[in-house]
Amino acid sequence: MTAKAGTAAPAPAGSRRLLRQLRDIMAGSGTAQARLDRIVRTIAAEMVAEVCSCYIMRPGEILELFATEGLKAAAVHVTRLRVGEGLVGEIAARRRPLALADARAHPNFAYRPETGEEAYSALMGVPLLRGERVLGVLVVQNKAQRQYHDEEIEALETIAMVVAELAASGELVSPDDLRQATGALLPARLEGVRFNPGVAVGTVVLHRRSSAVRTVVAEDPGAEQDRLSAAVTAMQADLDAMFAATELAAGGEHRDVLETYRMFAADQGWLRRIDEAIRSGLTAEAAVERVRIDSRLRMEQVRDPYLRERLADIEDLADRLLRYLTAPGSAQGRLAQQLPKDAVVIARTMGPAELLDYDRSRLKALVLEEGSPTAHVAIIARALDIPVVGRVAGVLSQAEPDDPIVVDAENAQVFLRPAQRTIAQVEDSLRARAARSETLSSLRGLPAKTRDGTAISLQINAGLLVDLDHLDETAADGIGLYRTEIHFMVRSSFPSVAAQTNLYRRILAKAGARPVVFRLLDAGGDKRLPYWADMQEENPALGWRALRVALDRPALMRQQMRALIEAADGGPLTILLPMVAEVAEFDAARSIMQRELDREARLGRPLPCPLRVGAMLEVPSLAFQLPALISRCDFLAIGSNDLSQFLFAADRGNPHVANRFDTLSPPFLSFLRRVVRHCEAAGRAVSVCGEMASHPLEAMALVGIGVRTLSMTPSAVLPVKAMVRSLDLTAVEPYLASLLDLPDRSLRERLRNFAVDRGVEL
Ligand code: PEP
Ligand code: MG
């Protein structure tokens, strides 16, 4: 936003007086139109502007001039601008204030002769916001060219909150028009990104709109400050209680996420800004809302994902605090609203604690307009097994409370107000899925052997302690990839050696006799550590990440090794090195590890036995040093996610290119087959632990080129086992070999047809 963040306007008596006048007008007699006319006159007089106009959103994304002081009266209800058209349209489209010393010089200035506005130079306008929606635009204009100060813009934003109340009341335009103007009533299909798989049919609950601010202008700022501090104290106490009581209390990593959140609840900068807004004449809840809007606008401009998430946490806290102020005593300010039994919650972003507020038994899915799969809320949602679709552009402005909704996280799509037929279809497929999952669970105790008797080891990928519960549920053979970086990512500072040791010990205890492959810290790229500020890079995927960081900062790696060695306590330990690009890197890492082993031996501590060290094959260059690599490492793990992004030069996080190339293609499968053959010949174990292994069709191709160990997302284990048990290796191996020289972009269709013809379960 234009106004300086964090410097709320001083508390001018004028702004308080104006707010009081507006409140009296709002509460006074007369039609809504008459009150709006009085409001624009009062604002123009108090803000020393020749013009004050109010535009209201009409159906079809049209902004209609509803009231004006200063422009020609004949233009009222005649002048209409599309969203995006002219300066008023631009303010609505960008949902941001705009202040110009000479509006006529702006390229977007749209001249409307009926208004007579050519006489005015300076313009300052702000959107009328209600939740996420733009209800209109409030503008002041001056004849002389002048710069508006940040304080004036802030004052107009505060005033806009009062005017927005009138616009949202349904008195100026009918509630139906309002609904149509600000959101579609038609069915809509929206696409996003899959954060957590699953499908759900349910009813929309808008996360943000649970706490509309009713009273904007304060009678007594002192009393409002008291209300604020009582609410803050109650909120902090309840957060403590909630985090202690939640079903996630025991999970080490989740606690870190929650602790960070709690820290924000005591952030002095945030509380000070609210206090300043109260002193400018707002009620406590309006002040919280005011600061919330401020941080959301700032968030829209921040590109850094870490900072965005921090701002999102602050925004969520504002929501929580609003609930304490608007409904004191209602279940300690936790979500007072009655949730439907099939709630699908829609939010812009959400902090981790917000999700825990919802009754888990009624929460069917989560849809986020922003966010990332590594956002804290996504981590918590995964642990709770709630389907999540993220980055669904426009969902908040299109969804209405109580709308029916289908969330198809499998295909990263959301259906708003779907036709009854669509719902019936999805419910059918949900029933089929449930039946299939029952059939699948009967596979739990059966071996993962092909029809001709070859055993395939199926393991799971994990990153949170709760993931280990899936070992028993799926009867997987072990953990083929434990992403240790998740523990580092969800904290506010580096975990100590003791904290790491404790976590690794718990993992090993939970896994029991089943092997666990601990991948050393794979930070950087899209896996940012919140406390590691200097990781801004032009090309993060190709940058200073994973083993590169470890080799440059050996102390980090040594500490992690120390924790792992201590946790193993003389038992077996398997270590995997992420993103090895050349044999020299493997050697360098091995010698750092050796220094730590020597240190532990000197201290008389038991060394892990056996210690196995493997390399991840994610960077294509390593595949050209296979003999040297194989003679040094105990096993190879192919990270197909990174390997495919590097082999095809296609950023895995960029939606424009991420799906452009198929891993089921001759170049990718040939590459893998070459690696697998080398390992086979040398008797060296090799596994695939990227996403690819989690899809039955891809897994079939991997088995067909010789892979015998697959590590996957836990929910894939039983479906992949069903595929393995229905597969005949003697048929699939020669078939795949016959495909690898084809010039095709993808072998997907051929492989699918093969599976269908041969009765392979996909
Ligand atoms: C991979 O790159 O395939 C992999 C398993 O590692 P990550 O997805 O954690 O980068
Ligand atoms: Mg990787």
> Using one digit for the tens of pLDDT, what is the confidence trace for 68-109?
999 999 999 999 999 889 999 999 988 889 999 999 889 888
**In the predicted structure, residue 253 carries a pLDDT above the cut 60:** no
Give the strand order in the sheet containing 413-416.
Answer: 188-191, 413-416, 404-408, 199-206, 343-347, 363-368, 388-390, 193-196
Give the residue-averaged pLDDT of 733-738. 97
Q: What token pair was written down for 171? A: 């008195």
Instruction: Report whether residue 397 contacts ligand 1, using a CB cutoff of 6 Å.
Output: no
**What pLDDT, in 10s, does the model give residues 536-545?**
688 888 988 8
In a domain, 69, yes or no: yes
640 CA closest ligand 1 atom index: 3
- Contact in structure between 420 and 428 (CB atoms under 8 Å): no
Name the amino acid, one letter, at 137.
Answer: V
Q: What is the pLDDT of residue 210?
A: 45
d(CA 712, CA 694): 5
The contacts found for 507-513 with CB under 8 angstroms, 24 or more apart, are 507/462, 507/465, 507/468, 507/479, 507/482, 507/567, 508/567, 508/568, 508/571, 510/465, 510/468, 510/471, 511/468, 511/471, 511/478, 511/479
For residue 636, report the distance from its CA to the centre of ligand 1, in Å.
13
Identify the band that residue 11 occupies on the pLDDT scale cut at 50, 70 and 90: very low
**What pLDDT, in 10s, does the model give residues 619-674?**
999 999 999 999 999 999 999 999 999 999 988 767 677 778 999 999 999 999 99
Identify the band that residue 615 occupies on the pLDDT scale cut at 50, 70 and 90: very high
Q: Which of the listed residues 675, 689, 698 should we mutate to test ligand 1's pocket, taking the one with most ligand atoms within 8 A of CB?
A: 689
Higher pLDDT, 583 or 301: 583
Mean pLDDT of the chain: 86
Instruction: Report whether residue 483 contacts ligand 1, using a CB cutoff of 6 Å.
Output: yes
Q: What is the pLDDT of residue 264?
A: 65
Considering only CA atoms, which of 726, 713, 735 is closest in space to residue 762?
Answer: 726
**In the predicted structure, residue 249 carries a pLDDT above the cut 60:** no
Strands 413-416 and 516-519: unpaired
Q: What token pair was written down for 454? A: 């070859």
Q: Which of the listed residues 479, 641, 713 should we mutate to test ligand 1's pocket, taking the one with most ligand atoms within 8 A of CB?
A: 641
Ligand 1, atom 10, lies closest to the CA of 642
| Proportion of the chain in helix, strand, coil states, percent, rounded to 5 | 50, 15, 35
**What pLDDT, in 10s, does the model give residues 712-732?**
988 889 999 999 999 999 999
For residue 588, report the distance from its CA to the centre of ligand 2, in Å.
20
* Residue 608 and residue 490 share a domain: yes
Q: Where are any strands of DSSP class E within 501-598?
A: 516-519, 573-577
**In the predicted structure, residue 432 carries a pLDDT above the cut 70:** yes
Q: List, in sequence order, every residue forming a beta bridge with 282; answer none if it has no partner.
A: 217
* Residue 274 and residue 173 share a domain: no
* Residue 327 and residue 345 share a domain: no
Residue 650 CB-density burial (10 A; 0-12 exposed, 13-18 middle, 19+ buried): middle
* Residue 257 and residue 154 share a domain: no
Considering only CA atoms, which of 106, 80, 83, 108 is closest in space to residue 93?
Answer: 83
Distances (CA, A) of 310 to 40, 56, 316, 372: 37, 33, 10, 13
CA quadruple 504, 505, 510, 511: dihedral sign = positive
Among residues 54, 633, 679, 689, the one annotated as catalytic is: 689
Domain that residue 82 falls in: 31-178
Q: What token pair was written down for 535? A: 């990781």
Distances (CA, A) of 685 to 591, 633, 725: 22, 10, 22
In a domain, 300, yes or no: yes
* Residue 245 and residue 131 share a domain: no
Ligand 1, atom 9, lies closest to the CA of 483
d(CA 672, CA 440): 29
**In the predicted structure, residue 368 carries a pLDDT above the cut 70:** yes
The ligand minimizing its distance to the Cα of 653 is 1
CATH number at residue 399: 3.50.30.10
Ligand 1, atom 4, lies closest to the CA of 639
Q: Output the CA torsion 354→350→257→506 (10° steps).
A: 80
Considering only CA atoms, which of 578, 571, 491 is closest in space to residue 528?
Answer: 491
692 CA closest ligand 1 atom index: 3
**What pLDDT, in 10s, does the model give residues 305-334?**
666 666 666 777 787 888 888 766 544 444
Q: What token pair was written down for 178? A: 């309002």
d(CA 136, CA 114): 20
The ligand minimizing its distance to the Cα of 711 is 1
Q: Which helix (H) or strand (E) holds 389?
A: strand 388-390
Q: What is the pLDDT of residue 608?
A: 97
In a domain, 759, yes or no: no
Q: What token pair was written down for 616? A: 């991840």
Give φ, ψ of 392 to 5 degrees: -95, 95
In a domain, 449, yes or no: no
Give the residue-averaged pLDDT of 470-476. 90
The ligand minimizing its distance to the Cα of 640 is 1
SS3 label, residue 127:
strand
Q: Which of 402, 434, 466 is the last residue of a domain?
A: 434
For residue 525, report the distance from its CA to the centre of ligand 2, in Å.
9
Considering only CA atoms, which of 54, 88, 87 is closest in space to residue 69?
Answer: 54
Instruction: Report whether residue 689 contacts ligand 1, using a CB cutoff of 6 Å.
Output: yes
For residue 577, report the distance from its CA to the centre of ligand 2, in Å.
10
Instruction: Report whether residue 33 contacts ligand 1, using a CB cutoff of 6 Å.
Output: no
- Contact in structure between 259 and 240 (CB atoms under 8 Å): no
For residue 542, report the distance from its CA to the centre of ligand 1, in Å.
14
Instruction: Report whether residue 639 contacts ligand 1, using a CB cutoff of 6 Å.
Output: yes
Q: Output the CA torsion 199→203→207→208 (10° steps).
A: 140
* Residue 344 and residue 202 share a domain: yes
CATH number at residue 105: 3.30.450.40
Name the amino acid, one letter, at 246.
Answer: T
637 CA closest ligand 1 atom index: 5
Considering only CA atoms, which of 649, 619, 762, 640 is closest in space to residue 697?
Answer: 762
Contacts of residue 285, defined as CB under 8 A and 6 or more positions apart, other chains included, come to 211, 213, 214, 215, 322, 325, 326
SS3 label, residue 368:
strand
CATH number at residue 268: 1.10.274.10
Least confident window among 68-82, 155-169, 240-254, 493-507: 240-254
Distances (CA, A) of 341 to 344, 345, 421: 9, 12, 21
SS3 label, residue 701:
helix
For residue 26, report the distance from its CA to the centre of ligand 2, in Å.
58
579 CA closest ligand 1 atom index: 2
**What pLDDT, in 10s, does the model give residues 194-232?**
888 888 999 999 886 445 667 788 888 899 999 999 888
**In the predicted structure, residue 336 carries a pLDDT above the cut 50:** no
For residue 641, report the distance from its CA to the centre of ligand 1, in Å.
5
**What pLDDT, in 10s, does the model give residues 99-141?**
999 998 898 888 888 898 888 999 999 999 876 678 999 999 9
* Residue 393 and residue 296 share a domain: no
Question: Does 376 qualify as catalytic in the annotation?
Answer: yes
Identify the band that residue 572 occupies on the pLDDT scale cut at 50, 70 and 90: very high
In a domain, 754, yes or no: no
CATH number at residue 515: 3.20.20.60
For residue 483, report the distance from its CA to the centre of ligand 1, in Å.
9
Instruction: Report whether residue 690 contacts ligand 1, using a CB cutoff of 6 Å.
Output: yes
Identify the band that residue 183 occupies on the pLDDT scale cut at 50, 70 and 90: low
- Contact in structure between 523 and 532 (CB atoms under 8 Å): yes
Identify the band that residue 247 occupies on the pLDDT scale cut at 50, 70 and 90: low
Q: Which residues surround ligand 2, an ion (CB under 5 A)?
A: 639, 642
* Residue 602 and residue 482 share a domain: yes
Instruction: Provide the domain count of the chain.
Output: 4
Contacts of residue 188, defined as CB under 8 A and 6 or more positions apart, other chains included, come to 398, 415, 416, 417
d(CA 665, CA 642): 16
Q: What token pair was written down for 150? A: 């940040």
Q: Which of 580, 597, 614 is the last residue of a domain?
A: 614
**In the predicted structure, residue 185 carries a pLDDT above the cut 60:** no
Q: Which of 333, 363, 394 is the last residue of a domain?
A: 333
The contacts found for 366-371 with CB under 8 angstroms, 24 or more apart, are 367/192, 367/392, 367/395, 367/399, 367/405, 367/407, 367/414, 368/192, 368/195, 368/392, 369/393, 369/394, 369/395, 369/396, 370/308, 370/312, 371/195, 371/312
In a domain, 246, yes or no: yes
**In the predicted structure, residue 375 carries a pLDDT above the cut 80:** no
* Residue 74 and residue 43 share a domain: yes
Q: Angle at which helices 583-602 and 554-568 pack, to 10 degrees?
A: 60
Question: Does 689 qualify as catalytic in the annotation?
Answer: yes
Least confident window among 60-64, 651-655, 684-688: 651-655
Instruction: Report whether residue 618 contacts ligand 1, using a CB cutoff of 6 Å.
Output: yes
d(CA 405, CA 104): 45
**In the predicted structure, residue 447 carries a pLDDT above the cut 60:** yes
pTM above 0.95, yes or no: no
- Contact in structure between 98 and 87 (CB atoms under 8 Å): yes
**In the predicted structure, residue 9 carries a pLDDT above the cut 80:** no
Identify the band that residue 555 occupies on the pLDDT scale cut at 50, 70 and 90: very high
639 CA closest ligand 1 atom index: 3
In a domain, 124, yes or no: yes
SS3 label, residue 204:
strand
Mean pLDDT comparison of 346-355, 423-432, 635-644, highest-scoring range: 635-644
Identify the band that residue 5 occupies on the pLDDT scale cut at 50, 70 and 90: very low
* Residue 195 and residue 174 share a domain: no
For residue 657, report the distance from its CA to the centre of ligand 2, in Å.
17
Higher pLDDT, 251 or 582: 582
In a domain, 682, yes or no: no
Angle at 232 between CA 227 and CA 238, to 5 degrees: 125
**What pLDDT, in 10s, does the model give residues 510-540?**
999 999 999 999 988 767 776 776 666 888 8
Q: Where are any strands of DSSP class E within 95-253?
A: 98-100, 122-130, 133-142, 188-191, 193-196, 199-206
Q: Which of the listed residues 616, 636, 712 should we mutate to test ligand 1's pocket, taking the one with most ligand atoms within 8 A of CB?
A: 616
Among residues 254, 376, 470, 695, the one annotated as catalytic is: 376
**In the predicted structure, residue 245 carries a pLDDT above the cut 80:** no
The ligand minimizing its distance to the Cα of 485 is 1
* Residue 534 and residue 609 share a domain: yes
Give the residue-averaged pLDDT of 570-574. 98
* Residue 429 and residue 541 share a domain: no
- Contact in structure between 585 and 623 (CB atoms under 8 Å): no
Instruction: Report whether residue 761 contacts ligand 1, using a CB cutoff of 6 Å.
Output: no
Q: Which of the listed residues 482, 522, 528 should we mutate to test ligand 1's pocket, taking the one with most ligand atoms within 8 A of CB?
A: 522
Q: Which helix (H) or strand (E) holds 228?
A: helix 221-245
